[in-house]
A and B are shown apart, each in its own frame.
Chain A
Amino acid sequence: MRYAETGFNLEIDLSKGSIDKVPTDPKLTELHLGGLGTNAKILWDRVPPEIEPFSPDNLLIFGTGLLCGTPAPGANRTIVSTFSPQTLLMAYSMMGGFLAPELKYAGYDKIIIRGKSPDLVYLWINDDKVEIRDAKHLKGKGALETSEFIKEELREPKAQVAAIGLAGENRVYFASIEHGRSSASRLGIGAVMGSKGLKAIAVRGTKDINIARPDQFIELCNQILKYIQHRQQNPIKGVPPILARLGSPQEMAIHDEEWHTTNFAWGHARHRRKDFWTKETETRWREIQDKAVERLISCYNCPMKCGAIIAYPALGISKYMMKCYSKLTYVMAAMSNDLEFGFKIAGLGQEYGVDGYTTPQVMAFAVELYEAGILTEKDLPGFPSNNEERFFYLLEKIVRREGIGDILANGVYLAARQIGKGAEAYDHNTTKRHEQMVIKLGMLNPIYFLMYSTGEKLNITQIEGQTPQAPLPDDVREEFVRDWIHPPEEWADDFKEFILKWGTAPEYQFPFYPPIDVTCKLVEWQETMHYIDDCTGICAGLSSFPIKPPYHIHNIPLFISNATGLDIDEAELWKITRRNRNLVRANNVRRGLRRKDERPPDDHWKKRFPDYETKLLDEYYKFKGWNKEGIPTKETLNQLDLNYVVEDFERRGIYENGKE
């Protein structure tokens, strides 16, 4: 019997119309856990670098985390992996909601999709009964509309549905896969789904998930619930309200948006508006949000309320569900002062199925080009004069790939090069061809420098976490470190010293503080915890993202061991995670990722230190066991039982140019 996992993957070939239930090798669970780890392994084994993202031979994998479907609170993430049309690298996006547990209850750990259907179809997984069904009648329908339609058509209100909208069908490079209040948005995985002719996946499951050591496991779960209650009653002192509690940033519950609106950049990641947040704005925005939010909602088996049902008939849009920060991304990119605009366009964006981070940036980029005369009336016939109306105009063009929308739909980096005429200079906020968070700051932050440079998930929120983002006020530092049990034991003293000293004297300021070795450890810790979550399916909002979360490196091994019956301690979990991290990198190295690609946007900080940055990256690569090009060394790979990667790299001559 298999524990925590089902031991089966569902293999779908949309070209052949074949459906196979395939048993998985338990050894792979020991080596990679599940979720991202086993996804990366499958992509490595079966999708060589010659395969283009839209090729029928590319795979689209819906992987469940190892702990999804167990009673572990907040373990509900679906990890969707493929190769991105935008970056041409491994695309990596995840979503919460209810899909992963439902898939487990149906008896599968993953859905692995290859091929390409001649007509639009959707997948209906009802325990052992799996069908590829006609979806021609759903063509052009919104993502949420599609979900509701399918549930009705199947007469199965309990089915969980993930669907693409028009943007995915039209292969917009930042098209998302939408699932209720959640979405897997980044890097154009919705476009890959669209390229396969797959409109949606519907799942209903009524089987058991087994736990190896039930009493121990349930006790751990009870401790988590108790800690969540404690932590919610004791918010972290000295940090902005948005970071003081658990969950992903509580954007739906919290009205205070001073932190985002005054610290993040507006327009096309250009302007700080440090005086934006006034009493009047606060009053007005509170009114709008109270009117819009009908109910705060959660994902499966999670007591948090990070999402909301949005009902705002006055805006002329249908109800939808929202999470996190997308209520502000459009508002800020459009330099709007109007939160109503945010709720309206975000709802529309979700129905079309586009990423709420990239899309506003692409549109703000287009507005800049228009104002600079690079795009003209010829490219944008009838372009409105008001920014908000311009955004609606551009959204319609992009999701249909109509006129200039066909170019903008490739994202800022590629569009800038296709448009030419100096447009390249306006591509100022991308790394590895992908739009980064809209933050422009003063002094180089060495920790974030490394995370932006080397992160392969390409979204900083999926790498950062657990560490205060600014020095704490002096009067709370001691208290903060007192019960900070979260860091790995051998690094805890370094991290506590950093918290105590950071910003207290000129020698304890960025960029030369913390020391490089501590900087490397801080980055390694933050990233590792995310990679663990991506394998277990535990939400970052209860684990790797917030400060002092309920899950940490000391208790996650117990969760994994008691759920699966494997005996995995902290050291082993760290090793598995390094293995998975290096396998993700190996997939990308094989597709050409090198040191030259690993740099934050030039204007991310005003004050840059090129020599020090070189040194930082050198040291971090060394710390990771990578060579000067950022390629994992043979020694590193062999230690991690990735000998087959070494063989592949050698066969391809990957080590020949960069000396090891």
Chain B
Amino acid sequence: MLLKISNEGVFMKTEKNKKKVKVIKIDLEKCNGCRACELICSAFHANPKYSTNNPARSRIRIYSHPIKNIYLPVYASEYTPAECAGRNKYIMNGQEYEECAFCGASCPSRELFKEPDSKLPLKCDMCEDEPPQEEPLCVKWCLNDALVYEEREEDVEEEVKLDEMETALESLVEKYGIEKVANAMARMTSKE
């Protein structure tokens, strides 16, 4: 099975109308399950840097079940205060994965991606560093190329955020009429 997942990481504005997208391509076929990525991630984020390591603090985890041939690197993404309602299952090439296996959220339903002592959520920052690292350290330490780093530039339309809000407002107006929406806005404004 060749399953590639793009972990669309930190967005950085490089110049006007361009953004640099950092991508780690994960090739499940190539993972040998060594967990060097977990180790070096936790070492890099130690303070002082590399002074300790502890995979339980890592922002990447290999979800693995060797005897089922499941090796799935997952990156820590956003914190979420609530757990999902459903826990779905995926069957791919005869292997069963829980939906949670793919999920990078630091969430109440599991221990994953929380600092073991403080329980604060962890999130992958692509090894932001000064001076910058050539690539995230999990990628550097993965000699089998299960993790490969790519950068690409994407065009950004300046008013993306505005457009989104306007679209939302327009749909509200369509549904409730402009008067109702204006009144609601007025009430909300006076409450603030």
- Which residues of A pack against B, CB within 8 Å? 69-71, 73, 98, 105, 144, 148, 157, 180-181, 205-211, 214-215, 217-218, 225, 228-229, 294-305, 309, 311, 319-321
Contacts and interface: CB of A to CB of B under 8 A. Distances in A.
14 contacts: A69-B53, A71-B39, A207-B56, A208-B54, A210-B51, A210-B52, A294-B69, A295-B69, A297-B33, A297-B66, A300-B35, A301-B36, A303-B144, A321-B66
B149 interface: no
Contact of B32 (A73, A208, A303): A303
Interface string B139-165: 011111000000000000000000000
Contacts of A321: 66-67
A298 B34 contact: yes
A148 B67 contact: yes
B108 interface: no
Given A296-B32, A301-B35, A303-B32, A180 B66 contact: yes
A160 B20 CA distance: 40
Contacts of B126: none
A311 B69 contact: yes
Contacts of A69: 53
B53 A70 contact: yes
B51 A214 contact: yes
B56 A105 contact: yes
A310 to B, nearest CB: 10
B51 A211 contact: yes
Given A211-B50, A305-B144, A218 B43 contact: yes
B72 interface: no
B55 A105 contact: yes
Nearest to B49: A214
A208 to B, nearest CB: 4
B24 to A, nearest CB: 17
B97 interface: no
Contacts of A217: 50
B129 to A, nearest CB: 13
Interface residues of B, number: 30
A148 B54 CA distance: 24
A254 B53 CA distance: 34
Contacts of B33: 297-298
A319 B69 CA distance: 10
Name A's interface SS.
loop
Contacts of A295: 32, 69, 71
Interface string B101-122: 0000000000000001000000
Interface of B: 32-36, 39-40, 43, 46, 48-57, 65-67, 69, 71, 116, 140-144
A225 B56 CA distance: 23
A305 B71 CA distance: 14
B43 A71 contact: yes
Contacts of A320: 67
B67 A303 contact: no
Closest 7 CB pairs of A and B: A206-B56, A214-B50, A303-B143, A208-B52, A298-B32, A298-B34, A208-B54
B116 A73 contact: no
A225 B141 contact: yes
Contacts of A180: 66
A485 B89 CA distance: 53
A157 B101 CA distance: 12
B27 to A, nearest CB: 12
Contacts of B141: 225
Nearest to B144: A303
A105 B140 CA distance: 23
Nearest to B40: A71
B13 to A, nearest CB: 31
A120 B63 CA distance: 31
A255 to B, nearest CB: 19
A181 B66 contact: yes
Nearest to A318: B67
Given A181-B66, A229-B143, A303 B54 contact: no
A659 to B, nearest CB: 53
A215 B43 CA distance: 11
B144 A225 contact: no
Nearest to A105: B54
B188 to A, nearest CB: 45
Given A211-B52, A214-B51, A218-B50, A157 B40 contact: no
A642 B181 CA distance: 89
Contacts of B39: 71, 301
Contacts of A302: 34, 36
B50 A215 contact: yes
Contacts of A208: 46, 52-54, 57
A646 to B, nearest CB: 41
A209 B66 contact: no
Given A225-B141, A300-B34, A209 B67 contact: no
Contact of A209 (B36, B53, B143): B53
Contacts of B142: 303
Contacts of B66: 180-181, 297, 309, 321
Contacts of B71: 295
B48 A214 contact: yes
Given A295-B71, A297-B32, A303-B36, A71 B143 contact: no
Contacts of B56: 105, 205-207
B15 to A, nearest CB: 33
A214 B43 CA distance: 9
Nearest to A305: B32
Most buried by A among B36, B46, B65, B142: B36
A144 to B, nearest CB: 7
A296 B29 CA distance: 10
Contact of B65 (A105, A157, A298, A300): A157
B44 to A, nearest CB: 9
Nearest to A205: B56
A225 B116 CA distance: 29
Most buried by B among A211, A229, A301, A303: A301
Given A225-B143, A297-B33, A144 B67 contact: yes
A6 to B, nearest CB: 12
B53 A71 contact: yes
Contact of A73 (B36, B46, B49, B52): B36
A520 B100 CA distance: 58
A228 B69 CA distance: 26
Given A180-B66, A209-B54, A214-B48, A303 B116 contact: no
A296 B33 CA distance: 9
Nearest to A303: B143
A551 to B, nearest CB: 16
Contacts of B49: 214-215
Contacts of B34: 298-303
A303 B65 CA distance: 19
A70 B40 CA distance: 10
Contacts of A206: 54, 56, 116
A560 to B, nearest CB: 17
Given A205-B56, A298-B34, 15 more contacts: A105-B54, A206-B116, A211-B52, A215-B49, A215-B50, A218-B43, A218-B50, A297-B32, A297-B66, A298-B33, A300-B34, A303-B142, A303-B143, A309-B69, A321-B66
A309 B32 contact: no
Contacts of B143: 225, 228-229, 303
A66 to B, nearest CB: 15
Most buried by A among B40, B48, B54, B57: B54
